[in-house]
Amino acid sequence: MQTIKGTEPSMAWQLVHESVRSCVGNTPLVRLSRLFPQEGLEVYAKLEYMNPGGSMKDRPARHMIEQGLREGKIHAGSHIIESTSGNLGIALATMAKLYGLEVTCVVDPNIAPTNLRMLRQMGAHVEMVLEKDVNGGYLLTRIAKVHQLLERIPDSYWINQYANEYNWRAYYEGTGGEIVNALDRLDLLIAGVSTSGSIMGTSRRLREKFPHLKVVAVDAVGSSLFGATQGIRRLPGIGASRVPELLRREEIDQVVYVNDWESAMGCRALLHHEGIFAGGSSGSVIAAIQKLVPTWEKGVSIVTLLPDRGERYLDMVYDDAWVEALEEKGAVVS
Ligand SMILES: Cc1ncc(COP(=O)(O)O)c(C=O)c1O
C-alpha cells in the first residue's frame, strides 16, 4: 500500500469558516480495502458526498457563480436559471443564499419528490414543464423553458452546466488537485458521467502527474451520451440524452455501461462492506469496478468518485420493492 499524505485531523477541527462557501472541497479519500481485498488492487474513493450540500455539485456551483460574479455577468440581485432536478439545483440554491441571488430550477415530472421539496425549502423557484418533446422526453421542453425565462426575467443568467467551462475547471482545481496531493501512484480514474464536468476536470489534473493514467467513464444503460440507443433509465445522476459540449471523447479510454439493478447492488455492497451510504451513481462506479477487476493484471491503483449521499435514494436503490420490481422485469445483468 502506498503512503497517503493527509492533513492532521486535529488541525482541521481548529478552523473556523466564515461561511459554508469554504467548507466545499477537501473531501476525504478512503481506501475500499474491505470491498476490494484482492492482492495488489488499491481502490481509493473520494467521498464527494461530504460536501456541505451533500454532493460534488457544490464545487461547480460555487465556481460557476463566482466566475460569473468576477466577470460581471451576475451580481447581487441577479437571477440564476438552470435546467436541473437534483444536486446542482440544491448546490446553486446554497450559493445563491450567500451571494444574494435568486434561483429558478426548470424541472420535469420525473424529479424525485424529496429533491422538489428540498429545492423549495431552500428558496429556489421551481418551473415544472409538463409537455414531452419530440423524443418522448423532457430535455428539449426544459431548454425551451430556460430560453423563455431568460427573455422574461430581467437580469437573468443561464448557468448551462453542459457547456460551462467553469464546470470542469472546478474539478480540475478541486477534486483533481486534492487527489494528486494525496496519492503517489495511480493507474486508473473511474467516474460516472452526465455533463462530463467531473471526469474531464479531474482527469486533466491527474494526467499532469500520472501521464499513463487510463480514464474509464461509467454510463447508464439507456443513456445516449456515448452514442448508444436511448432507453428507460430510472436512476438520476449519470447518463444523458444528449452529448455534452464539455465532453472530449478522445480523452476517455473506455466506457462501461451499468444498469439500474447493478447500481443498486453496488450501493448495497458499498454499505455492507465499507459502511458507506452513498447515492445511485456511487453504486454504478462500484459495479463497474467489479466488472473490470477480472480484466486487470495485478498491481492496479484506482481512484473513483462517490458523488452524493444515500438518503435521497431510500425510495430507489435502498428499497427492496424497487429492486424486486426490476428483477421481475428481468432488468438485471446488462
Ligand atoms: C449523483 C451524480 N453522480 C454523477 C453525476 C455526473 O457528474 P457530471 O455531471 O460531472 O458528469 C451527477 C451529475 O449530475 C450526479 O448528480
On the 0-12 / 13-18 / 19+ scale of CB atoms within 10 A, 9 is exposed
Terminal CA-to-CA distance of the chain, rounded, Å?
33
Nearest Cα to 240, choosing from 190, 207, 184, 281? Answer: 281
Nearest Cα to 287, choosing from 304, 275, 299? Answer: 304
C-alpha 107 to ligand 1 mean position (Å): 16
Reported residue count of the chain is 334
**From the CB of residue 44, how many other CB atoms can be counted at a distance below 10 Å?**
19
Q: Dihedrals φ, ψ of 225, to 5°? A: -55, -40
pTM: 0.94
Q: Which atom of ligand 1 is nearest to the CA of 282?
A: 3
**Residue 233, pLDDT score:** 83
C-alpha 53 to ligand 1 mean position (Å): 14
**Residue 237, pLDDT score:** 86
Write out the chain's pLDDT in tens, 334 residues: 554 454 444 555 557 999 999 999 999 999 999 999 999 999 999 999 999 999 999 999 999 999 999 999 999 999 999 998 789 999 999 999 999 999 999 998 888 888 899 999 999 999 999 998 887 778 889 999 999 999 999 999 999 999 999 999 999 999 999 999 999 999 999 999 999 999 999 999 999 999 999 999 999 998 889 988 888 888 888 888 889 999 999 999 999 999 999 999 999 999 999 999 999 999 999 999 999 999 998 789 999 999 999 998 999 999 999 999 998 887 676 6
Copy the grid coordinates of residue 138.
423532457
Ligand 1: lining residues by beta carbon, under 6 Å: 55, 86-87, 192-199, 237-238, 279, 281, 307-308
Q: Which of 63, 87, 175 to mutate to test the pocket of ligand 1 (most atoms within 8 A of CB)?
A: 87
DSSP state for residue 294 in the 8-state scheme? G
- What residue spans of 85-190 are helical by DSSP H? 87-99, 113-121, 139-152, 165-171, 177-182
C-alpha 299 to ligand 1 mean position (Å): 29
3-state SS class at 127? strand
Q: Which of 82, 115, 198 to mutate to test the pocket of ligand 1 (most atoms within 8 A of CB)?
A: 198
**Residue 31, pLDDT score:** 98
